[in-house]
């Protein structure tokens, strides 16, 4: 089945630091990947859609200059949290689906726990 | 996007069959219904997907009535390790790329 790998699994850093999270589709190509954020005891919230070779599409209320997304290849999307602050601490999860397989569902990475001190 | 309604929480015991029902009254004609399982500090894991009638795989069954306004995930003989949050998600496979809209899910707690 489709495997999505996310790295790193956990990041702890100081306020003001920029943090990059990688999302890879290991055994399929993904022209589109998705980034979600999940706060404690809450559900996943879609942040943005990452499009290979073009600009990402952000959901309402998500700052595109804060959360930079790059999707330079068919198997890799990166999310960079710029100048992170404690309120950015959250669980970030990416997903992708194999568009070559028409009815295949999205598969998720294992998430990245971001803690800003 | 189809809005979903699921019980917030459910309790059961090891060895029992658990059925979680989700309503999605305004599901689109082309939408599939997908169920995911999520453990704490992990990404959601795909369980099963269907369009209509019944689908069964090695871990679960999915029952979808003819009107497709609801679906029921059936977990046979649950164990403690099935304690997790379960989400039902209608989604369309055709056309443009759509991120998933997660509801609150059902927190299933399995006791010894």
CB contact under 8 A, B97 and A106: no
CB contact under 8 A, A111 and B42: yes
Torsion, Cα A56 A61 A67 A70, to 10 degrees, reads: 0
Looking at residue A3, its pLDDT comes to 92
Looking at residue B94, its pLDDT comes to 54
Length of chain B (residues): 112
Q: Min CA distance, B99 vs chain A (Å)?
A: 6
Q: Which of A10, A31, A106, A110 to mutate to test the interface with B (most CBs of B within 10 A)?
A: A106
Greater pLDDT, A79 or A55: A79
- Pairwise CA distance, residues B50 & B46, whole Å: 12
Question: With 0-12 CB in 10 A as exposed, 13-18 as middle and 19+ as buried, what is B72?
Answer: middle
Tell me, yes or no, if B8 comes closer than 8 A to chain A by beta carbon.
no
A-B contacts (CB, under 8 Å):
62
Looking at residue B95, its pLDDT comes to 47
Half-sphere exposure of A77 (CA within 13 A, CB side): 30
Tell me, yes or no, if A58 comes closer than 8 A to chain B by beta carbon.
no
DSSP conformational letter for B82: G
> Which among B33, B24, B78 is positioned nearest to B54, based on CA atoms?
B33
Q: Is the pLDDT of residue A83 over 90?
A: yes
Local confidence band at B93 (pLDDT 50, 70, 90 cut-offs):
low
Tell me, yes or no, if B36 comes closer than 8 A to chain A by beta carbon.
yes
Tell me, yes or no, if B99 comes closer than 8 A to chain A by beta carbon.
yes
Average pLDDT over residues A49-69: 93
- Pairwise CA distance, residues A112 & A107, whole Å: 15
The chain-wide mean pLDDT, for chain A, equals 93
Average pLDDT over residues A12-34: 94
């Amino acid at each position: 089945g489709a495997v999505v790998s996310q790295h790193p699994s956990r990041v702890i850093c100081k306020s003001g630091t920029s943090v990059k999270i990688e999302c890879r589709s290991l055994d399929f190509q993904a022209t589109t990947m998705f980034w979600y954020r999940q706060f404690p005891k809450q559900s996943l919230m879609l942040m943005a859609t990452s499009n290979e070779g073009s600009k990402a599409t952000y959901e309402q209320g998500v700052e595109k200059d804060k959360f930079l997304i790059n999707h330079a290849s068919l198997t890799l999307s990166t999310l960079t949290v710029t100048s992170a602050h404690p309120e950015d601490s959250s669980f970030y999860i990416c997903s992708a689906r194999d568009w070559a397989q028409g009815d295949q569902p999205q598969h998720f990475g294992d998430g990245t726990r971001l803690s800003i001190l | 996007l189809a809005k979903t309604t699921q019980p917030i929480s459910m309790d059961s015991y090891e060895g029992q069959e658990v059925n979680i029902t989700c309503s999605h009254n305004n599901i689109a004609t082309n939408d599939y219904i997908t169920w995911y399982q999520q453990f704490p500090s992990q990404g959601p894991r795909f369980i099963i997907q269907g369009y209509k009638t019944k689908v069964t795989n090695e871990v679960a069954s999915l029952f979808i009535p003819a009107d497709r306004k609801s679906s029921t995930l059936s977990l046979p003989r649950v164990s403690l390790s099935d304690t997790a949050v379960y989400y039902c998600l209608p989604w369309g496979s055709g056309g443009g790329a759509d991120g998933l809209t997660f509801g609150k899910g059902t927190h299933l707690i399995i006791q010894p």
